[in-house]
Amino acid sequence: MLPINKAHLKLLTLFICLFIVSCQNKKAEHQTVDSNAKPKLIVQITIDQLRGDLPLRFMDKMSENGFKYFYTNGVVYNNAHHAHSNTETIVGHASLATGAYPSTHGMIANVWLNRETGVLSYNIEDPRFSLLSADADVNQKTEIDPTQKKARSSGRSPANIKVSTFSDELKLASNGKAKVFGVSVKDRGAVSFAGHTGKAFWFSKKSGEFVTSNYYYKSYPEWVKSWNAEKHQLFYADTNWELSNSIDSYLFGENDNQEWEVDLAGFGRTFPHKFGKGDGKYYNTLLTISPAGDEITSKFAQSVITNEKLGQDDITDFLSVSFSSTDYVGHMFGPSSLEMEDNLLRLDKTLAQFIQFIDENVGLENTLIVLSADHGSPEAPGYLNSLGMEASTVDFSQLDKDPAIERLKQRFGIGQELISEFFPPYLYLNHDVINERKLDLSEVQKAVAEEVAKFKIVEHAVTSADLNAGSIPTTNVLQKVINNHDPRRAGDIYLVFKPHSFVNNFDGLHVASYHGSVWNYDTYVPVIFAGHTIKNKTIHRRIETVDIAPTLSALMGIKPPSGTDGFLLPEVLEK
C-alpha cells in the first residue's frame, strides 16, 4: 500500500466533503415539491381490526419510522369512526374504498342470504370468474359459509359493490392510464380497493401463492409467476413465531397463557408458536395468524410497485395494501394479549421497511399514504371478566326452538321452523312457510322482533319492514343500523346486542374475540394522511371513515365516487 501524505489526505477529505454536499443537494432537489403538484402514487394502507388506540398503547416500544412516521408527520384524526352498524371486514373495506355507507354500496355483511336462490352469498363471490390457479380453488372455504353446509364458488369479482370506488374514479379521470392495484391476504381486502377497474391479488391459504381471478387477467403476468415460484411462504417453514424482545419488556408479558385464547391446529397459546413443516395441512393458515402474513403481503406489494412501475410518471397511480394478520391474531388471542402486542411491534417493523422502500423507489414527497382500519376490536369477554367487567357470548343457533318463538308459531299456525337462519347480525325468517300461510311478512317480522327484544342480551331488534318504511328513531345507534340497510340483501330482523355481548362464531370456530357490533370499540379506527405535502397536525373533531374517499378525490381534482356519503376533510386539502 502506498503511503498517504498530508497533501493527499487533504485532497481526499476535500473530495469526500464535495461528494457529501453534492448528495445533499440532489436529495434537497429531489424533496422539493410544488404544493400544488399531485402525488405520483397514492398508497392506502388498511390494517384489519386495528382499533384506534392500539398503536398508541405500544408506541413507546416502536421504531421511529413505522407507526410513529404517521403520528409525527401526518394529519392525525384521533376520533375517527365507521358510521355503520355491522363492523365486519368487507363492510369496512368497501366504505373506505367508496366513501359510501353500506346502505349505498351494498356490502352489508361478509355473507348474506340470497332470497332468489335461497343460497348464502359470500360478498365478492362470482361464479362467472374463476381463479387463475386451480390449486387455490378452496382458498376461502372456511371464510364463506360458517355452517359448512353449502358448496360455494371460488370465483371472485367486485360486481356486488354497487358504486364506484376512489380508485375507479382515478382510473376514469386518467382515461385508464392510472395503474390501480389491491393487495391483501384476504380476497375481499384486495378486491374492494381495486374496485371495478383495477387489479387485485390475494393470498391462497391452500397454495401459499398470491392469486387472482380471470375477472382481472386471462393469465398471470410473468413477474407474478416468478414471484410465486420463489415460494416466499416457505421462508418460515420449521421456524417459530418468537417474541421480538425480552418478555419482561412487554405490557402483557405476564399474560402469555390466557384461558380464553385459542390453540388453532397446534399453534399453541404460548410463545414460541410453531409454524411446522411447509407442506403441513394448516401451515399457510398459521402464517396468516402471525406477523408472517403481513410480512409476505408487504413483500408482494413491493413487487407490485417495482414490476408495474408505480409512481414513475406524471399520472397518479394507486396501491391498496390491506394487512390482515392483526384481525386473525385478535380473533385467536384478543387485543389485550402478548400475541397482539408482539404482532403490532412486528407490524411496526414491516411498515417501517415498506415506507423506506416507497421512499427509495418513489419518494415520500411524491407519495400520499392513508392509514386506517376496516373496523376496531372488542376486548375478549374472558379478559373483561378477569378485570371484573360483565361480558358474555351469544349463541342463537337454536333460537327457533326457544319457547317464545314456539308460542309465535302456535299463534300463526306454523308447524315448522319460523326462523330459518341466523347469520349475524341478521335473522332470516322462513318466507316459504309465511307465504304458504298467507301471513303478512311485516306483521311476522314485528312479532318476532318484539319477542327477541325481550332477551337480556338484546339492545334492539329492528325489522326490515320498519327500516324500509323509515319509521325508526334516528338515535346514534339506530342511525348506524339505517346506514347499514340494503332492502335487497338485508335479513328480516337486524339484531343489536348489548355492549360486551358477543356472537362467538368465526368461520364456525369459537374464538377469543369477535367484532361486528355497533359500539365504539368496533367503530373506532385510526385515520391518518401522511407523505407528499402533508404537514403534521392532530384533529380531535369526530369524523367518519367515508370522508376519506371524497377527500382523496378533491385532492386529485376529480369527481368523488358515485355513491359518496362522506364529507371533505379540510386539513388534508390545506396548502
- The CA distance from 19 to 54, in Å, is 44
Residue 2: pLDDT band by 50, 70, 90 thresholds? Answer: very low
* Mean pLDDT, residues 227-242: 98
* 174 Cα distance to chain centroid: 27
- The CA distance from 344 to 333, in Å, is 13
pLDDT tens for 187-197 read: 999 999 999 99
- The CA distance from 562 to 163, in Å, is 6
* Mean pLDDT, residues 315-344: 98
At residue 247, does pLDDT exceed 90? yes
- The CA distance from 510 to 380, in Å, is 12
Domain 392-499 in CATH 3.30.1360.150: yes
CB neighbours of 516 closer than 8 A, spacing ≥ 6?
A: 86, 87, 88, 375, 424, 425, 503, 522
Share of the chain above pLDDT 70, in %: 91
Residue 137: pLDDT band by 50, 70, 90 thresholds? Answer: low
Share of the chain above pLDDT 90, in %: 86
pLDDT tens for 90-104 read: 999 999 999 999 999
- The CA distance from 103 to 566, in Å, is 13
**pLDDT given for residue 151 in this prediction:** 45
At residue 43, does pLDDT exceed 80? yes
Cross-strand pairs, 537: 75
Q: Residue 383 corresponds to which cell in the numbers above?
A: 379478559
Rounded to a whole number of angstroms, the distance between the first and last alpha carbons of the chain is: 57
At residue 140, does pLDDT exceed 60? no
Which class does domain 41-99+164-386+518-573 fall in? alpha beta
Q: What is the pTM of this model?
A: 0.92
Strands (E), 373-482: 392-394, 419-423, 426-429, 458-463
**pLDDT given for residue 504 in this prediction:** 76
Q: Where in the chain is the domain with CATH 3.40.720.10?
A: 41-99+164-386+518-573
Q: Where in the chain is the domain with CATH 3.30.1360.150?
A: 392-499
**Other Cβ atoms within 10 Å of 285 Cβ, number:** 17
Enzyme catalytic residues = 89
